[in-house]
Amino acid sequence: MSALPTRPSKTATTLWSVIVGLVILACLAFLDVDWQGLLDLPRSTWEYGVLMFADPTWDKLPRALFETWRSISMAWLGAILCVVLSIPLGMLAAHGVGPLWLRTILRGIFAVIRAVPEVIIALILLTVTGLTPFTGALALGIAGIGTQGKWVYETIESLNDDASEAIAAAGGGKVAILRWALWPAAMPTLMSFALYRFELNIRMSAVLGLVGAGGIGSMLSNYTNYREWGTVGMLLIVVIAATMVVDAISGAIRRRIMEGATNRGLVRRR
pLDDT at residue 1 above 60? no
Closest CA to 250 of 194, 208, 205, 183: 194
Average pLDDT over residues 27-52: 80
Average pLDDT over residues 134-153: 89
Return the higher-pLDDT residue of 121 and 265. Answer: 121
Rg of the chain over CA atoms, in angstroms? 25
Handedness of CA 192, 193, 194, 199 (dihedral sign): positive
SS3 40: coil
Average pLDDT over residues 173-197: 81
Q: Rounded distance, CA 25 to CA 90, Å?
A: 41
pLDDT at residue 109 above 90? yes
Return the higher-pLDDT residue of 10 and 3. Answer: 10
pLDDT one-digit tens code per residue, 56-73: 889 889 999 998 898 888
DSSP of 42-83:
HHHHHHHHHHHHSS---TTHHHHHHHHHHHHHHHHHHHHHHH
Neighbours of 135 (CB within 10 A): 25
pLDDT one-digit tens code per residue, 126-139: 877 777 778 888 88
User: Dihedrals φ, ψ of 87, to 5°?
Assistant: -65, -55
Return the higher-pLDDT residue of 268 and 131. Answer: 131
DSSP of 214-263:
-SHHHHHHHHHHTT-HHHHHHHHHHHHHHHHHHHHHHHHHHHHHHHHHHH
Classify residue 94 by its DSSP letter.
S
pLDDT at residue 35 above 80? no
pLDDT one-digit tens code per residue, 240-253: 898 888 888 888 88
Q: How far is CA 195 from the centre of its chain?
A: 10
Q: Give the chain's largest Cα–Cα span.
A: 85
Share of the chain above pLDDT 70, in %: 93
Q: In the chain, what are the helix, strand and coil shares in percent, each to the nearest 5?
A: 80, 0, 20
Mean pLDDT of the chain, nearest integer = 83
pLDDT at residue 122 above 90? no
Domains of the chain: 58-269 (1.10.3720.10)
Neighbours of 43 (CB within 10 A): 9
C-alpha triplet 56, 62, 66: angle, nearest 5°: 120
Which of the residue ranges 173-177, 229-233, 253-257, 259-263 would you say has the lowest mean pLDDT?
Answer: 259-263
Tell me the pLDDT band of 266, cut-offs 50, 70 and 90: very low
Tell me the pLDDT band of 80, cut-offs 50, 70 and 90: very high
Tell me the pLDDT band of 267, cut-offs 50, 70 and 90: very low
Closest CA to 234 of 245, 247, 219: 219
